[in-house]
Protein backbone atom coordinates (compact mmCIF):
# COMPACT_ATOMS: atom_id res chain seq x y z
CA UNK A 1 0.00 0.00 0.00
CA UNK A 2 1.43 3.36 -1.04
CA UNK A 3 1.88 5.94 1.73
CA UNK A 4 -0.69 8.72 2.09
CA UNK A 5 0.56 12.01 0.69
CA UNK A 6 -0.22 15.02 2.89
CA UNK A 7 -1.05 18.01 0.72
CA UNK A 8 0.27 21.44 1.68
CA UNK A 9 -2.20 23.50 3.68
CA UNK A 10 -2.50 26.21 1.02
CA UNK A 11 -3.30 23.61 -1.65
CA UNK A 12 -5.91 21.97 0.59
CA UNK A 13 -7.58 25.34 1.10
CA UNK A 14 -7.65 25.97 -2.66
CA UNK A 15 -9.18 22.54 -3.31
CA UNK A 16 -11.76 23.02 -0.54
CA UNK A 17 -12.70 26.41 -1.97
CA UNK A 18 -13.08 24.92 -5.46
CA UNK A 19 -15.30 22.14 -4.12
CA UNK A 20 -17.43 24.71 -2.27
CA UNK A 21 -17.86 26.74 -5.47
CA UNK A 22 -18.88 23.66 -7.44
CA UNK A 23 -21.38 22.62 -4.78
CA UNK A 24 -22.69 26.18 -4.44
CA UNK A 25 -23.35 26.35 -8.18
CA UNK A 26 -25.10 22.98 -7.99
CA UNK A 27 -27.27 24.28 -5.12
CA UNK A 28 -28.20 27.46 -6.99
CA UNK A 29 -29.22 25.45 -10.06
CA UNK A 30 -31.04 22.75 -8.08
CA UNK A 31 -34.73 22.45 -9.00
CA UNK A 32 -35.48 20.75 -5.68
CA UNK A 33 -34.11 23.52 -3.45
CA UNK A 34 -37.38 25.48 -3.42
CA UNK A 35 -39.24 22.52 -1.85
CA UNK A 36 -36.78 20.87 0.50
CA UNK A 37 -35.19 21.87 3.82
CA UNK A 38 -32.91 24.32 1.97
CA UNK A 39 -35.80 26.52 0.80
CA UNK A 40 -35.43 29.34 3.40
CA UNK A 41 -31.69 29.77 2.79
CA UNK A 42 -31.14 32.79 0.49
CA UNK A 43 -28.80 32.52 -2.47
CA UNK A 44 -26.32 34.86 -0.76
CA UNK A 45 -25.93 32.40 2.12
CA UNK A 46 -25.93 29.19 0.11
CA UNK A 47 -22.21 28.57 0.76
CA UNK A 48 -22.91 27.14 4.21
CA UNK A 49 -25.17 24.52 2.66
CA UNK A 50 -22.62 23.86 -0.06
CA UNK A 51 -19.98 23.14 2.59
CA UNK A 52 -22.42 20.98 4.54
CA UNK A 53 -23.80 18.66 1.91
CA UNK A 54 -22.18 15.47 0.67
CA UNK A 55 -21.69 14.58 -3.02
CA UNK A 56 -24.87 13.47 -4.83
CA UNK A 57 -25.55 9.74 -4.54
CA UNK A 58 -27.00 7.52 -7.24
CA UNK A 59 -29.06 4.51 -6.10
CA UNK A 60 -30.12 1.84 -8.63
CA UNK A 61 -33.75 0.78 -8.76
CA UNK A 62 -34.46 -1.86 -6.12
CA UNK A 63 -31.50 -0.93 -3.89
CA UNK A 64 -31.84 0.31 -0.33
CA UNK A 65 -30.94 3.87 0.56
CA UNK A 66 -30.94 2.75 4.20
CA UNK A 67 -32.37 -0.17 6.17
CA UNK A 68 -34.80 -0.20 9.07
CA UNK A 69 -32.77 -0.48 12.28
CA UNK A 70 -29.63 1.08 10.78
CA UNK A 71 -28.01 4.18 12.37
CA UNK A 72 -29.56 7.51 11.39
CA UNK A 73 -26.48 9.25 10.01
CA UNK A 74 -27.84 11.16 7.00
CA UNK A 75 -30.93 12.88 5.67
CA UNK A 76 -31.77 13.13 1.98
CA UNK A 77 -33.42 15.24 -0.69
CA UNK A 78 -34.62 13.46 -3.82
CA UNK A 79 -33.12 15.10 -6.89
CA UNK A 80 -34.39 12.50 -9.37
CA UNK A 81 -36.43 9.32 -9.11
CA UNK A 82 -38.84 7.81 -6.60
CA UNK A 83 -38.09 6.27 -3.19
CA UNK A 84 -40.47 4.11 -1.11
CA UNK A 85 -40.42 4.40 2.67
CA UNK A 86 -41.34 1.00 4.05
CA UNK A 87 -41.59 -1.11 7.17
CA UNK A 88 -42.13 -4.82 7.78
CA UNK A 89 -44.75 -6.57 9.92
CA UNK A 90 -43.77 -9.24 12.41
CA UNK A 91 -45.31 -11.79 10.01
CA UNK A 92 -42.98 -10.58 7.25
CA UNK A 93 -45.53 -8.57 5.29
CA UNK A 94 -44.48 -5.18 3.98
CA UNK A 95 -46.16 -1.78 4.31
CA UNK A 96 -45.38 1.28 2.22
CA UNK A 97 -45.63 4.25 4.56
CA UNK A 98 -45.02 6.96 1.97
CA UNK A 99 -43.19 7.85 -1.22
CA UNK A 100 -40.40 10.41 -1.56
CA UNK A 101 -40.68 12.16 -4.93
CA UNK A 102 -38.33 14.70 -6.56
CA UNK A 103 -37.95 17.65 -4.19
CA UNK A 104 -38.94 15.68 -1.08
CA UNK A 105 -36.81 15.65 2.07
CA UNK A 106 -36.77 12.29 3.85
CA UNK A 107 -34.95 10.31 6.52
CA UNK A 108 -35.51 12.83 9.32
CA UNK A 109 -36.86 11.38 12.57
CA UNK A 110 -37.51 12.61 16.10
CA UNK A 111 -34.96 10.36 17.79
CA UNK A 112 -32.00 11.00 15.53
CA UNK A 113 -29.64 9.01 17.74
CA UNK A 114 -31.86 5.93 17.60
CA UNK A 115 -32.07 3.36 14.80
CA UNK A 116 -33.96 3.99 11.59
CA UNK A 117 -37.70 3.51 12.06
CA UNK A 118 -38.20 2.58 8.40
CA UNK A 119 -36.37 1.44 5.29
CA UNK A 120 -35.94 3.54 2.16
CA UNK A 121 -35.83 1.71 -1.18
CA UNK A 122 -35.34 3.23 -4.63
CA UNK A 123 -38.32 2.34 -6.83
CA UNK A 124 -36.64 3.84 -9.88
CA UNK A 125 -33.00 4.83 -10.41
CA UNK A 126 -32.64 7.69 -7.93
CA UNK A 127 -30.26 10.59 -7.49
CA UNK A 128 -30.12 11.92 -3.94
CA UNK A 129 -28.54 14.84 -2.10
CA UNK A 130 -27.31 13.56 1.30
CA UNK A 131 -26.90 15.84 4.30
CA UNK A 132 -25.01 14.60 7.38
CA UNK A 133 -27.21 14.44 10.48
CA UNK A 134 -24.86 16.38 12.74
CA UNK A 135 -24.48 19.16 10.18
CA UNK A 136 -28.24 19.48 9.82
CA UNK A 137 -28.68 19.60 13.59
CA UNK A 138 -26.15 22.45 13.79
CA UNK A 139 -27.99 24.27 11.01
CA UNK A 140 -31.30 23.89 12.85
CA UNK A 141 -29.78 25.31 16.03
CA UNK A 142 -28.42 28.38 14.25
CA UNK A 143 -31.09 29.18 11.64
CA UNK A 144 -34.67 29.67 12.93
CA UNK A 145 -36.07 29.98 9.39
CA UNK A 146 -34.74 26.55 8.45
CA UNK A 147 -36.08 25.13 11.73
CA UNK A 148 -39.52 26.61 11.06
CA UNK A 149 -39.55 25.27 7.50
CA UNK A 150 -38.56 21.80 8.67
CA UNK A 151 -41.40 21.91 11.22
CA UNK A 152 -43.76 22.67 8.34
CA UNK A 153 -42.42 19.77 6.28
CA UNK A 154 -42.78 17.41 9.25
CA UNK A 155 -46.37 18.60 9.81
CA UNK A 156 -47.24 17.93 6.16
CA UNK A 157 -45.70 14.45 6.37
CA UNK A 158 -47.68 13.76 9.54
CA UNK A 159 -50.93 14.94 7.95
CA UNK A 160 -50.29 12.72 4.94
CA UNK A 161 -49.59 9.76 7.23
CA UNK A 162 -52.94 10.34 8.94
CA UNK A 163 -54.60 10.55 5.53
CA UNK A 164 -53.00 7.25 4.51
CA UNK A 165 -54.34 5.66 7.69
CA UNK A 166 -57.86 6.87 6.88
CA UNK A 167 -57.48 5.74 3.28
CA UNK A 168 -56.43 2.21 4.20
CA UNK A 169 -59.01 1.68 6.95
CA UNK A 170 -62.13 3.76 6.30
CA UNK A 171 -62.53 3.83 2.52
CA UNK A 172 -63.68 1.23 0.04
CA UNK A 173 -61.23 -0.40 -2.36
CA UNK A 174 -62.15 1.72 -5.41
CA UNK A 175 -61.95 4.92 -3.35
CA UNK A 176 -58.57 3.90 -1.88
CA UNK A 177 -57.04 3.38 -5.31
CA UNK A 178 -58.51 6.59 -6.72
CA UNK A 179 -57.39 8.60 -3.68
CA UNK A 180 -53.79 7.40 -4.01
CA UNK A 181 -53.75 8.30 -7.72
CA UNK A 182 -55.11 11.79 -6.96
CA UNK A 183 -52.52 12.27 -4.20
CA UNK A 184 -49.64 11.30 -6.49
CA UNK A 185 -50.99 13.59 -9.22
CA UNK A 186 -51.21 16.47 -6.73
CA UNK A 187 -47.70 15.90 -5.43
CA UNK A 188 -46.28 16.10 -8.94
CA UNK A 189 -48.36 19.05 -10.18
CA UNK A 190 -49.35 20.91 -6.96
CA UNK A 191 -52.99 21.07 -8.03
CA UNK A 192 -55.87 18.74 -8.71
CA UNK A 193 -56.35 17.44 -12.27
CA UNK A 194 -58.71 19.58 -14.32
CA UNK A 195 -58.02 18.77 -17.98
CA UNK A 196 -58.75 15.42 -19.69
CA UNK A 197 -55.83 13.22 -20.75
CA UNK A 198 -53.18 14.66 -18.43
CA UNK A 199 -50.30 12.23 -17.86
CA UNK A 200 -48.12 11.72 -14.77
CA UNK A 201 -45.34 9.34 -13.77
CA UNK A 202 -46.56 6.24 -11.93
CA UNK A 203 -43.64 3.77 -11.61
CA UNK A 204 -45.51 1.57 -9.11
CA UNK A 205 -46.24 -2.14 -9.28
CA UNK A 206 -49.59 -3.60 -8.25
CA UNK A 207 -47.85 -5.00 -5.17
CA UNK A 208 -46.50 -1.58 -4.12
CA UNK A 209 -49.91 0.04 -4.55
CA UNK A 210 -51.44 -2.76 -2.50
CA UNK A 211 -48.88 -2.34 0.29
CA UNK A 212 -49.67 1.39 0.34
CA UNK A 213 -53.44 1.12 0.68
CA UNK A 214 -53.90 -2.24 2.39
CA UNK A 215 -55.15 -4.33 -0.55
CA UNK A 216 -53.85 -7.38 -2.33
CA UNK A 217 -52.29 -6.95 -5.77
CA UNK A 218 -55.22 -8.88 -7.26
CA UNK A 219 -57.72 -6.49 -5.67
CA UNK A 220 -55.73 -3.47 -6.86
CA UNK A 221 -55.73 -4.88 -10.39
CA UNK A 222 -59.49 -5.32 -10.24
CA UNK A 223 -60.08 -1.73 -9.10
CA UNK A 224 -57.73 -0.28 -11.72
CA UNK A 225 -59.47 -2.29 -14.41
CA UNK A 226 -62.82 -0.98 -13.19
CA UNK A 227 -61.61 2.63 -13.35
CA UNK A 228 -60.21 1.98 -16.81
CA UNK A 229 -63.45 0.43 -18.03
CA UNK A 230 -65.33 3.46 -16.67
CA UNK A 231 -63.14 5.66 -18.89
CA UNK A 232 -61.50 7.38 -15.92
CA UNK A 233 -57.84 6.34 -16.34
CA UNK A 234 -55.44 4.60 -18.71
CA UNK A 235 -51.92 3.19 -18.15
CA UNK A 236 -48.94 3.52 -20.48
CA UNK A 237 -45.62 1.98 -19.39
CA UNK A 238 -45.13 3.57 -16.00
CA UNK A 239 -47.37 6.53 -16.85
CA UNK A 240 -50.92 7.26 -15.72
CA UNK A 241 -53.28 9.08 -18.07
CA UNK A 242 -56.25 10.69 -16.35
CA UNK A 243 -58.96 10.60 -19.01
CA UNK A 244 -61.75 11.92 -16.76
CA UNK A 245 -60.27 14.11 -14.00
CA UNK A 246 -63.57 14.89 -12.32
CA UNK A 247 -64.54 11.24 -12.40
CA UNK A 248 -61.32 10.36 -10.60
CA UNK A 249 -61.75 13.18 -8.07
CA UNK A 250 -65.28 12.02 -7.38
CA UNK A 251 -64.16 8.41 -6.94
CA UNK A 252 -61.38 9.46 -4.54
CA UNK A 253 -63.50 11.38 -2.05
CA UNK A 254 -61.01 14.27 -2.08
CA UNK A 255 -63.81 16.83 -2.34
CA UNK A 256 -65.09 15.78 1.09
CA UNK A 257 -61.64 15.62 2.73
CA UNK A 258 -58.89 17.81 1.19
CA UNK A 259 -55.45 16.36 0.56
CA UNK A 260 -52.86 16.71 3.31
CA UNK A 261 -50.39 18.40 0.92
CA UNK A 262 -52.75 21.15 -0.20
CA UNK A 263 -51.27 23.65 2.27
CA UNK A 264 -47.73 23.13 0.98
CA UNK A 265 -48.00 25.19 -2.19
CA UNK A 266 -50.60 27.81 -1.43
Q: Which of 130, 161, 192 is the last residue of a domain?
A: 161
CATH code: domain of residue 236: 1.10.10.10
Residue 42 lies in a domain: yes
Residue 255 has pLDDT above 70, yes or no: no
Q: Are residues 154 and 184 in the same domain?
A: no
Give the model's confidence band at 22: pLDDT under 50 very low, under 70 low, under 90 confident, else very high: low
Residue 4 lies in a domain: no
Domain assignment of residue 45, given as a range: 9-161
Q: Are residues 186 and 147 in the same domain?
A: no
**For 163-179, what is the mean pLDDT?**
92
Residue 263 has pLDDT above 70, yes or no: no
Q: Are residues 139 and 15 in the same domain?
A: yes
pLDDT reported for residue 110 = 84
Q: Which of 121, 142, 161 is the last residue of a domain?
A: 161
**For 131-147, what is the mean pLDDT?**
91
Instruction: State the burial class of residue 13 (Cβ atoms within 10 Å of its Cβ: 0-12, 13-18, 19+).
Output: exposed
d(CA 118, CA 98): 10
Q: Are residues 157 and 175 in the same domain?
A: no
Bridge-based pairing state of the strands 198-201 and 239-242 = antiparallel
Give the model's confidence band at 82: pLDDT under 50 very low, under 70 low, under 90 confident, else very high: very high
CATH code: domain of residue 29: 2.60.120.10
Domain count, the chain: 2
Q: Are residues 21 and 125 in the same domain?
A: yes
**For 96-119, what is the mean pLDDT?**
93
Q: Are residues 191 and 241 in the same domain?
A: yes
Residue 244 lies in a domain: yes
Bridge-based pairing state of the strands 239-242 and 83-88 = unpaired
pLDDT reported for residue 50 = 77
Q: Which long-range contacts (CB under 8 A, 24 or more apart) does 65-70 make?
A: 65/107, 65/120, 65/121, 65/122, 65/126, 65/128, 66/107, 66/116, 66/119, 66/120, 67/116, 67/119, 68/115, 68/116, 68/117, 68/118, 68/119, 69/115, 69/116, 70/115, 70/116
Residue 81 has pLDDT above 90, yes or no: yes
Q: Are residues 154 and 192 in the same domain?
A: no
**For 6-20, what is the mean pLDDT?**
51
Q: Are residues 153 and 180 in the same domain?
A: no
Q: Which of 136, 161, 186 is the last residue of a domain?
A: 161
48-52, 109-113, 248-252, range with greatest mean pLDDT:
248-252
Residue 187 lies in a domain: yes
pLDDT reported for residue 9 = 57
Residue 3 lies in a domain: no
Q: Are residues 151 and 184 in the same domain?
A: no
Phi/psi for 237 (5° steps) reads: 50, 65
Residue 249 lies in a domain: yes
Residue 31 lies in a domain: yes
Instruction: State the burial class of residue 11 (Cβ atoms within 10 Å of its Cβ: 0-12, 13-18, 19+).
Output: exposed
Residue 166 lies in a domain: no
**For 206-228, what is the mean pLDDT?**
96
pLDDT reported for residue 18 = 47
Q: Which residue has the higher pLDDT, 25 or 71?
A: 71
Q: Are residues 185 and 154 in the same domain?
A: no
Say which range, 39-48, 102-111, 152-161, has the weakest mean pLDDT: 39-48
Q: Which residue has the higher pLDDT, 257 or 181?
A: 181
Residue 106 has pLDDT above 80, yes or no: yes
Residue 11 has pLDDT above 50, yes or no: no
Amino acid sequence: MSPTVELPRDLRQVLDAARTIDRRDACLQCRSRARTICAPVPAAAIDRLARLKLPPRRVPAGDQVYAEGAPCDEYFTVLQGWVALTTVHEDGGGVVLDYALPGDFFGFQGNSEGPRAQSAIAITPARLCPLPRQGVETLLQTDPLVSAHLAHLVAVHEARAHDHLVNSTARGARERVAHLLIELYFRQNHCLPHRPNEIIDLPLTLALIGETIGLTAVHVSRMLRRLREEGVIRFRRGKLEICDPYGLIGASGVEARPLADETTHQ
